[in-house]
Structure 1
Amino acid sequence: MGFGERGWGDFEGVEGKSVIKEIWHDNKLTDWRIVPLKRFGLLKGGAGFPIAAQGLSGLEFPFYKVKDLQENDFFLSKTEHYISHETALKLGAFIFPKNTLVFAKVGEAVKLNRYKLLSMSSCIDNNMMGYVIDHNVLSSKYLYYLVNQTFDISYIANPGPVPSVGSRQMGYLEISVPTVKKQRKIAAYLDKTCATIDKVIEAKQKQLEILDDLRKSIIHKAVTRGLDDSVELKDSGVEWIGKMPQHWVIEKLKRLLSQPLMYGTNEAAELDDPEYPRYIRITDFGDSGTLKPEAFKSLPPDKAIGYYLEEGDLLFARSGATVGKTFLFSGYKGLACFAGYLIRARTNKIKLVPKYLYYFSKSHAYFAWKNVIFTQATIQNISATKYDYLPVTVPSVREQQLIVQYLDIKMKALDNMQSNLSEQISTLKQYRKSLIHECVTGKRRITENNARNKS
């Protein structure tokens, strides 16, 4: 019997080794089978894709590369590359049909376990593999849910500096399947249920974005207008700051420091000895203003000398994707030093409260200044010389302290709201994952009513 002509009865004798098989046996799920992938379809690698053929549009077939697997959808639908039927023939590129499951077969991307379905007939490059499905016995949507939930092909990858998997290895991987009719019921149920969950998640993520915008607006108003709405205003002379209280001044950052701005050390981050000073790098902190415990690295004291941080020091990121990001060194128990992609600002505390400067670096005014700097440079980099000339609004120290106290209260309330939303999103994602797992392992029975009620 040829490919595409088999019936369910042809797989009665297939033996499997999955631990889940025993669970099915205990639950008496007699209409489920464990079958190697090669029995339900064709596994085939992609083709070489010369540079001269890349970057074209308006041709018959999309030509997908590994990076296209990053799309957040069932189907691959976007790419920068298209190819004609004639060129596909010249390259010996197989044209994979719609609903083929595709994934990485070479490189570190193998470990990411990303699987997508093709939305139309397409070609893939030679770092990818396609699984052309026999739709008489296997639902593509069911397979998508199954592999994204249960597959980890990194453990079968060929060892060496460049991981890889072949069609033979993939062919012997086993999948858990009921009849194709039941597969389709499960996929339809998951399509509708997951879509509902995803909409709720999306709504909560939008709420997080709104709270983030509100955070910046509250900070911006406090550090450019102060806390008294009745105070007389004047033009600050800085476009992105606008008007400010009459008694405030604008100062360049360098005039508000007790020491010149300083670059960190370029020592390699190789140690994680808790007895040594912590070595703070650009990747150690995010927008939350806290250090990531899992990112801990340390430097021997003799290499940290000259780069120690003091309470209230502010670190500016000077390059990379997070250029301009800031971190206030405060309340840390122990010694710490900082790395070369960071710049330390140590304020003159009789002129500038450190946390006021930190809040200023979270305002719309600061982000507008960054954008001006970026438009003047070919690469996104802000040197100490440029930070020296950052214009800062400066009220009296007492007023700075009151602004910091006000913002601490406001930010704590927003932090709590964002934390609750983030926990809800995490719970929904975990529920979605558990739901899929239960459905594709037979632990949750999907009836006609389930599928109909969700349609």
Structure 2
Amino acid sequence: MVEYTDVINTDAAWLPQIPAHWQLQKIDALFTERKTKVSDKDYAPLSVTKKGILPQLEHAAKSNDSDNRKLVKAGDFVINSRSDRKGSCGVSKLDGSVSLINLVLTPRSKLNNDYVHYLLRNYRFSEEYYRNGRGIVADLWTTRYSEMRTILLPVPPRAEQDQIVRFLDWKVSEINKLIGIRRKEIQEFNQLKNTVITKTVTTGLKREELCGTDNSYYRMIPKGWRITKTLRVLSQPLTDGPHTTPQLYEEGIPFVSAEAVSCGNGKIDFNHIRGFISQDFYEECCKKYVPKIDDIYMIKSGATTGRVSIVDTDRIFTIWSPLAVFRCNQEVMLPRFLFYALQALPYQQQVQDGWSYGTQQNIGMRVLEQLKLAYPDVTEQEKIACYLDDKCDMLDKAIQLAESKIKALQELKSTIISDVVTGKIDVRNVTIPEYEHIDDIYDDNNEDGEETEVTEIDGEEG
């Protein structure tokens, strides 16, 4: 790609050079802050996500203060001020309302809205935005308008903004098409994985005679299998983590919540923990629950309700209230068999039929304890678990390969956007061919709700 030949140095740390014919202007010269308070009864609630500004899903986690929100008009730029939501921003195409944690900026001048969208969502600006913030610890770090208003932005001539948008729309669509192919592969692998799990934990490994039952979820099971309540295969009633929100730190004891389960592909992903807690709070949590190898966690609140993971580490950590803990009575049921049985369609359908909606979908622990499981003797469970370990390992490797290709494509897309909107690449003379416009539609399970995680799930204390 062609670089600009005539560039000038700047005083902006995040933008050391720009093309000589571009301008540098402060945010407050280009935008005003919109502070109008409205109700989501009058202005539909919007979610500020890493995908941009989207209509809030009907069953997403919502603020209890629905009459105290910020007005958003089409064309406004909205950004979440908290560091733990870095990258959640965009130019809104809709009128609506957002929670007060967000900043709403209205353009003063006739900038190309799509150029603004590309510019202010690029990772270099994102880092500069949060660098200008303040806070006690990372999780409580915020950037106010008074702190961001002096950030310098590159402003090309309007005709060049338009060409930049045309170029990026084309390139981004090309990359999104490739990402879409990989995502479809992952979806197909996951569907195959779910089919294999469901078939194996409901019909077994042998071609045994199937017997009819009076259970609508397990209509046919192998001869000799049993159906029982979940509670009866556990060594203790279901429990969960604390129903209080602790102070989080940059280091300490890992505090695991829903995201670490939903991102972990059956394991705990310690790269997606809620944060770190103090030793004192950890010891308080241990009075209620201490994690143990082979414990199984199910998300019981939010968009990913029903997802599970199994503890396979002796690392010290604890969990928050969105997770329910299943601990097996191993004389009746093996943890690996239960891990797969909880993922199978008959059990997941019971979870869906049993959850309720408040501020978000959730299912109570006492409800989960009553859900039914079909199972063979422990010897057969061991064979089934080993078989599924092998089958799922092969599929997981295929999924991981596709995910690595998606990551590389996303990094390429991010680099191209950043280089173009900051003046590293000259696209003025690029001819844009005809192409199919493709948005990057992806599943980000933690982006559908409001900006705070609900801690009081169902009023239960395990």
Structure 1 length as normaliser, TM-score?
Answer: 0.71
What amino acid sits opposite 2:337 in the alignment? Y
When residues 182 and 355 of structure 1 are mapped into structure 2, their CA distance, relative to the original with a 3 A threshold, is same
* Contact 1:110–1:154 (Cα < 8 Å) also in 2: no
Which of 234, 249, 256 is the equivalent residue of 2:211?
A: 234
* Contact 2:228–2:373 (Cα < 8 Å) also in 1: yes
**Unmatched 5+ residue regions in structure 1?**
1-13, 57-62, 81-92
- Deviation, 1:345, is 3.8
What amino acid sits opposite 2:41 in the alignment? G
- Deviation, 1:20, is 7.1
Give the secondary-structure state (helix, strand or coil) at the position aligned to 2:153: strand
Cα RMSD after superposing both structures:
4.4
Which of 367, 371, 374 is the equivalent residue of 1:393?
A: 374
What amino acid sits opposite 1:399 in the alignment? E
Residue 83 (structure 2) pairs with residue 103 (structure 1): no
Name 2:237's counterpart in structure 1. 261
* Contact 1:263–1:344 (Cα < 8 Å) also in 2: yes
Give the secondary-structure state (helix, strand or coil) at the position aligned to 2:184: helix
When residues 64 and 323 of structure 1 are mapped into structure 2, their CA distance, relative to the original with a 3 A threshold, is closer
Name 1:430's counterpart in structure 2. 411
Residue 301 (structure 2) pairs with residue 313 (structure 1): no
Deviation track 1:18-59 (CA, whole Å, cap 9, x = no partner) reads 3577545xxxx44334344566x5x334363444xx535xxx
Which of 86, 111, 120 is the equivalent residue of 1:147?
A: 120
Give the secondary-structure state (helix, strand or coil) at the position aligned to 1:237: coil
Which of 4, 14, 32 is the equivalent residue of 2:22?
A: 32
Give the secondary-structure state (helix, strand or coil) at the position aligned to 1:358: helix
| Greater RCO, CA 8 A, separation 6+ | 2
Deviation track 1:300-322 (CA, whole Å, cap 9, x = no partner) reads 69753674454433344555555
- Deviation, 1:429, is 1.0
Residue 339 (structure 2) pairs with residue 358 (structure 1): yes
Name 1:184's counterpart in structure 2. 162
What amino acid sits opposite 1:128 in the alignment? V
Name 2:197's counterpart in structure 1. 219
- Deviation, 1:197, is 1.2
Which region of structure 1 is more displaced relative to structure 2, 210-219 or 266-275? 266-275
Give the secondary-structure state (helix, strand or coil) at the position aligned to 2:432: helix
When residues 102 and 380 of structure 1 are mapped into structure 2, their CA distance, relative to the original with a 3 A threshold, is closer
When residues 428 and 337 of structure 1 are mapped into structure 2, their CA distance, relative to the original with a 3 A threshold, is closer
Map of 1:7-26 to 2, 5 A cutoff? 17-19=11-13, 23-24=17-18
- Deviation, 1:132, is 3.4
* Contact 2:10–2:17 (Cα < 8 Å) also in 1: no
When residues 423 and 309 of structure 1 are mapped into structure 2, their CA distance, relative to the original with a 3 A threshold, is same
When residues 132 and 115 of structure 1 are mapped into structure 2, their CA distance, relative to the original with a 3 A threshold, is farther
When residues 173 and 68 of structure 1 are mapped into structure 2, their CA distance, relative to the original with a 3 A threshold, is same
What amino acid sits opposite 2:310 in the alignment? L
Q: Distance in 2 between matches of 1:211 and 1:409?
A: 15
Map of 1:25-424 to 2, 5 A cutoff? 29-36=19-26, 43-46=31-34, 48-51=36-39, 55-56=41-42, 67-70=46-49, 72=51, 100-104=75-79, 108=82, 112=86, 115-117=89-91, 119=93, 128-134=104-110, 138-149=111-122, 150-151=124-125, 152-156=128-132, 164-165=144-145, 170=149, 172-228=150-206, 230-257=207-234, 259-264=235-240, 266=242, 284-286=260-262, 288-294=265-271, 295=273, 297=277, 304=286, 307-319=289-301, 322-330=304-312, 332-333=313-314, 342-374=323-355, 381-424=362-405
Q: Distance in 1 between matches of 2:400 and 2:370?
A: 35
- Deviation, 1:325, is 3.9
Give the secondary-structure state (helix, strand or coil) at the position aligned to 1:240: coil
Give the secondary-structure state (helix, strand or coil) at the position aligned to 2:145: coil
Which region of structure 1 is more displaced relative to structure 2, 243-252 or 412-421? 243-252
**Unmatched 5+ residue regions in structure 2?**
1-7, 58-69, 437-462
Give the secondary-structure state (helix, strand or coil) at the position aligned to 2:77: strand
When residues 453 and 398 of structure 1 are mapped into structure 2, their CA distance, relative to the original with a 3 A threshold, is same
* Contact 2:238–2:366 (Cα < 8 Å) also in 1: no
* Contact 2:351–2:368 (Cα < 8 Å) also in 1: no
* Contact 2:25–2:153 (Cα < 8 Å) also in 1: yes
When residues 373 and 139 of structure 1 are mapped into structure 2, their CA distance, relative to the original with a 3 A threshold, is closer
What amino acid sits opposite 1:226 in the alignment? G
* Contact 1:279–1:298 (Cα < 8 Å) also in 2: no
Q: Distance in 2 between matches of 1:334 and 1:423?
A: 26
Question: What percent of counterpart residues are identical?
Answer: 18
- Judging by fraction of residues, say which structure has more helix: 1
What amino acid sits opposite 1:405 in the alignment? C
Which of the two has higher C-alpha Rg? 1
Deviation track 1:248-300 (CA, whole Å, cap 9, x = no partner) reads 2223333334x332535649766989998x77655553352222335365756
* Contact 2:209–2:222 (Cα < 8 Å) also in 1: yes
* Contact 1:110–1:163 (Cα < 8 Å) also in 2: no
Structure 2 length as normaliser, TM-score?
Answer: 0.70
Deviation track 1:62-98 (CA, whole Å, cap 9, x = no partner) reads x576x4544846xx68589xxxxxxxxxxxx9997x7
What amino acid sits opposite 2:236 in the alignment? P
Give the secondary-structure state (helix, strand or coil) at the position aligned to 1:129: strand
* Contact 1:69–1:115 (Cα < 8 Å) also in 2: yes
* Contact 1:271–1:299 (Cα < 8 Å) also in 2: no
What amino acid sits opposite 1:103 in the alignment? V
Q: Distance in 1 between matches of 2:56 and 2:336?
A: 45
